[in-house]
Structure 1
């Protein structure tokens, strides 16, 4: 027979990992969005520098 305490610990750890996965997914979306914004800013600055040259 399986140890109920062990099963409870496994279930609790799985819940912790699910929460961590959700947090990381959210952070990844934010990081990608900021990276995209920086790419646009870089492009604009390059265009301005080119016009000033």
Structure 2
């Protein structure tokens, strides 16, 4: 028979990992969004630099 305490610990740990996964997914989404914004800013600056050089 399975040890109820062990099953409870496994269940609790799984819940902790699920929460951590959710937090990491949110952070990853924020990082990707900021990276995309920086890429846009870089393209705009390059365009402005080219226009000023003309």
Scaled to the shorter chain, the TM-score interval is over 0.9
TM-score, length-scaled by structure 2: 0.95
> What stretches of structure 1 move > 6 A for 4+ residues in a row?
none
Q: Write the distance in 2 (CA, Å) between the matches of 1:25 and 1:40.
A: 23
Aligned-residue RMSD, C-alpha: 0.5
**Superimposed CA distance per residue, residues 1-49 of structure 1 (whole angstroms, 9 cap, x where no aligned partner):** 1001100100000000000000011011101100110000000000011
TM-score, length-scaled by structure 1: 0.96
Aligned length: 53
Consecutive unaligned residues of structure 2, counting only runs of 5 or more, are none
